[in-house]
Structure 1
Amino acid sequence: MGYVTSLFARKMVAAAGDAVDGDGLLRSVGLDPQAAWDPRQMIPAAAYYDMLETMATQTDVTDLPVRVGASMRCDDYGALGLAWKAAVDLHGSLSRIARYARLWTSVVRYELRPDPRGLLFVLHRPGERRLGLRLSNETTLAATVSLARQVAPGPVTPLELRLQHPEPRSVAAHAAWFGCPLRFEAGCDALLFSPETMAQPNILGDDGISRYLISHLEAELSQITQDTPLIRQARASIAQSLSEGVPKMADVARSLGLSARSFHRRLSEQGKSFQGLTEETRRDLAEGLLRDDRHSLAEIAFLTGFSEQSSFTRAFKRWLGTTPASYRRDHLRR
């Protein structure tokens, strides 16, 4: 089961105000309406989506994600928000979200993906494209723009907003907030930023503070990313199979003594999908091999399940926003 921070649930209810049964909604996700807000308190993602869908029966929620996203402040995110502000530029801020988002949610992964017009900040949230999930995605992307505008020395306007779901009945609030073309039923949920916007220096960027905050975030991350035995075993099985190509879920399940159905269910209970776990394993394996100069790029491509080095290069740029050669050069220099 995946989890999200309770902060989002409380923000949604507060923004809706008297139009909804706020106390009842918060209790439905296991929160005490009278308790202090604690972003570290997590709630099940499915329960959060249920809550949003219940809100939709009590009031018009079309522009609610934009209003809540616009209300988010860097300080709401604790050390992660400080690290966002202390990054040198917006690219650095977004990279930190991609790296440390698991401190806030176990159901969302972020990716910086090169685009001919700039860089895409892509939100990956697996699951049925239900209303609650769609509203949550819109809120997250609206919040990203809010945080970017708080640290930039000048205006921040994305080149484009992309959302996989159909266009809601009104997009006036979306158009006013994002200030850019809106693409619904797109191939991903993402914001497209220009190179110039990504390179804008943050007004509070500070290398020294950044190093301190990053060490703190890494320590927090290490406490929550200890894989369960099942995940460790599945990763090992996937890694061992990659030199023969990307393995099938049924084959990995069989190697663990499980049926494909049981394996899928147990992964879902831990907020994982087989496709996502395979991608994570390939990415982590590639990073580790690139930090060692004993293997050529062609060998690393083969060992991570790619039939051609060019395919590996494209995937690596999608994962980390840089080429394997540049990644190796930067890390071997340290």
Structure 2
Amino acid sequence: MKSHASDRIKIPQGFWTGLHQLGIAASDVACKARLPLAIITEPVVTTAQYFAIWQAYSDLVGDTANAIIKLATVFEASQYPPSVLATYHARDYRDALYRMARYKQLCPPESLRIAENKEHCTIDLGWLNTDQSGPSMLVGITLAFLLELGRRGTGQPLTAQCVKFTHEMGDIKSLEAFFGCRIQIGATCNQLTLHRSDLLRPFVSYNEELLEILTPALDQSLYEQQSSRSITETVKWIMKRSLTAGRPDIQTIANELGMSHRTLQRRLAEENTSFKHLLTKSRQEKAREYLADPSLDIKEVAFLIGYEDQNSFYRAFRFWEDDTPANWRTDYLNKA
């Protein structure tokens, strides 16, 4: 797993409080994860350690599905960190979800991408600063909490429309009862699909005064974080987490960065690159990453990096690597 200069994750104290309410000692989790007990009082860890903590919780509880449901519903609002409080006290469900996706950047490694169409709202889960996906437990709790947030905020028993997971999640019937919809296992992505009409529901927990305090502080922290990396790094990061939704365009990326597409073009030119070049590099790097995973077939890889048909992906890959995807994968796996 690759390390990163900003690969430092702070675990909120509410996490350990929640585990205690479920009868699980923080010390047992630390020992199971083979980490020092100091992480309980000074919980700043790397991505690898963070994943190990979630895997340890999963191993201690047993069935993944039931562990997801228990932890998603046990947290009280008083235990939420500021970034989550700003979503719980949002104006409505849409505002809450977009705040969650925005402020998730302050507390990696999870990354959320939201897309809306006529009737649906899909939320895809990705990862920051790592080429590996997190444990099934972390994937499940992240998507489950997004629905739980809507239920708590609106005071209504909301249900999802569809949930997709790439890996096994334990007792699927329990998860289907929690989400109120069918669960698809073995999908190409981890995704929560909501009824778009639910996004209009107001939050009974809306607190304008508190948001006026939290929002500027969180936005400033986010600005400082983004300013610490080059525009090239930032654009590539956004591109990579956007590829499964199709080929990202410059206006969409610019909007996410809060600037015009002309300003983005100028900033990239100042760093001696271009939007087109970064998109190509992002696709090439993600293609290598996905092809290194033998569980993904080549059609899936093409889709995951934004190609609508396999032939276009084949032509692009031969141009990048002077080889076919299948041959590249065989050579890579033989050397591994």
TM-score norm. by structure 2 comes to 0.62
Pairwise CA distance, 1:44: 1.7
Deviations 1:134-169 (A, max 9, x none): 21111111122222211104221111112122x334
Deviations 1:85-110 (A, max 9, x none): 3322100000001111123x222211
Moved more, 68-77 or 4-13: 4-13
1:32 equivalent in alignment to 2:38: yes
Deviations 1:185-222 (A, max 9, x none): 22321211112211101113244543432112112323
Distance change (3 Å), C-alpha of 1:151 and 1:64: same
Q: Equivalent residue for 1:232?
A: 230
Asked if the contact 1:69/1:142 (under 8 Å) is kept, the reply is yes
Q: Equivalent residue for 2:260?
A: 289
Distance change (3 Å), C-alpha of 1:273 and 1:225: closer
Amino acid at match of 1:232: S
Q: Residues of 2 paired with 1:79 and 1:19: CA distance?
A: 25
Q: Residues of 1 paired with 2:226 and 2:248: CA distance?
A: 12
Q: Equivalent residue for 1:80?
A: 83
Q: Residues of 1 paired with 2:40 and 2:117: CA distance?
A: 46
The 3-state SS of whatever aligns with 1:305 is helix
Pairwise CA distance, 1:180: 1.4
Distance change (3 Å), C-alpha of 1:304 and 1:274: closer
Asked if the contact 1:71/1:143 (under 8 Å) is kept, the reply is no
1:127 equivalent in alignment to 2:131: yes
Q: Residues of 1 paired with 2:25 and 2:152: CA distance?
A: 29
How do residues 170-319 of structure 1 correspond to structure 2 at under 5 angstroms?
A: 170-227=171-228, 231-232=229-230, 234-235=232-233, 275=240, 284-285=253-254, 287-290=258-261, 304-305=275-276
Q: Residues of 2 paired with 1:194 and 1:208: CA distance?
A: 29
Quick one: which of 59, 83, 96 aligns to 1:93? 96
How do residues 46-125 of structure 1 correspond to structure 2 at under 5 angstroms?
A: 46-55=48-57, 58-62=60-64, 63-103=66-106, 105-115=107-117, 117-125=119-127
The 3-state SS of whatever aligns with 1:288 is coil
Amino acid at match of 2:79: D
Q: Residues of 2 paired with 1:18 and 1:106: CA distance?
A: 24
Asked if the contact 1:89/1:200 (under 8 Å) is kept, the reply is yes
Distance change (3 Å), C-alpha of 1:288 and 1:149: same
- Which structure is higher in RCO with an 8 Å CA cutoff and minimum separation 6? 1
The 3-state SS of whatever aligns with 1:159 is strand
Asked if the contact 1:84/1:93 (under 8 Å) is kept, the reply is yes
Which sections of structure 2, spanning at least 5 residues, go unmatched?
Answer: 267-273, 278-305, 307-336
1:5 equivalent in alignment to 2:5: no
Asked if the contact 2:63/2:171 (under 8 Å) is kept, the reply is no
Amino acid at match of 1:32: A
Amino acid at match of 1:17: G
The 3-state SS of whatever aligns with 2:158 is coil
Amino acid at match of 2:140: E
TM-score norm. by structure 1 comes to 0.62
**Number of aligned positions between the proteins:** 255
Measured on the aligned residues, the alpha-carbon RMSD in Å equals 4.0
Which sections of structure 1, spanning at least 5 residues, go unmatched?
Answer: 240-271, 296-302, 307-317, 319-334
Asked if the contact 1:162/1:191 (under 8 Å) is kept, the reply is yes
